[in-house]
Amino acid sequence: MTVRSERDLLPQKDWPDAVEVLNEHGRSDIVLLCEHASNHMPAEYGRLGLDAAHLQRHIAWDIGAAEVTRLLSVRLDAPAFLSGYSRLLIDLNRPLGSAGSIPVLSEDTDIPGNTGIDTAERTRRAEIMFSPFHERVAGHLDRRTVEGWPTRIVTIHSFTPVFLGVARPWHAGVLHDHAADLAAKILSGLRTDATLNVAANVPYVISRDADYAVPIHGDDRGIPAVLVEIRQDLLATRSGIEEWADRLAAALPAHEAETVS
């Protein structure tokens, strides 16, 4: 007898898969992740009490990141894993149980629908939205290890030009913990354009308490892993998205042994 999960019984259009997988058998050693690809919320959540306009903001998703990831998947012939739900429901790049996992405040905005939720609802969101994404990524990485494929992880994000009233001057950042060599090579590639202001570990830094993909899928496995942040105003048009996909495709170095400390 087949046991059906709650996920199997939900309306598919309103409850999409937690992960969209592109080009899973691509030949690149790069594996792309986009944990904040979607701003989708099932109707039952009533937008968590927010006006519809808030779902178009950075608090709900990383604007432009999904499009860059899709283009990079094609340009690099790389597998890509994209989220299916808004980060406001549960953030795929935050450890379960952390303050940022199911935020009650995002930037300067209260999230009424996340206030006071019980353990059962937290578990439900994790089981439907968080765990299936990361289990699919982990399974893919496991297979690559068994089959002896070289692997590097690049996770694609975007950031706001102004955060809580403070302007951010960088065009992009490459965040890393153990994979300093990979980050340095990407930054070197981006700096062939002298007009770009790019740097390591801006506008954020990787922290095991506040990040998931890089430490768990990358550092803990000994896989070089970085998080690329692109400023959102640079991804406001299709031409900008294509320009950054081209930049990153050119900046990602051909495979060679990377040092993971």
Q: Indicate whether 8 pLDDT > 60.
A: no
pLDDT at 3 over 50: no
pLDDT tier at 11, thresholds 50, 70, 90 = low
DSSP H or E stretch at residue 132: helix 131-147
Cα gap 122→100, rounded to integer Å: 13
Residue pair 230/64 in contact (Cβ under 8 Å)? The answer is: yes
- The model's pLDDT over 195-254, given as tens digits with 9 standing for 90+, comes to 999 999 999 999 999 999 999 999 999 999 999 999 999 999 999 999 999 999 999 976
Q: Which domains does the chain have, with CATH numbers?
A: 6-251 (3.40.630.40)
Q: Which one-letter amino acid corresponds to residue 102?
A: I
The predicted-structure confidence for 153-210, as pLDDT tens digits, reads as follows 999 999 999 998 899 999 999 999 999 999 999 999 999 999 999 999 999 999 999 9
Cα-based distances in Å from 156 to 18, 47, 70, 195, 211: 17, 25, 10, 21, 13
Q: Read off the pLDDT of residues 55-65 as tens digits, 9 standing for 90 and up.
A: 999 999 999 99
Alpha-carbon dihedral angle through residues 197, 167, 204, 150, given to the nearest 10 degrees: -40
Interaxial angle between packed helices 238-251 and 65-76, expressed in degrees from 0 to 180 and rounded to the nearest 10:
50
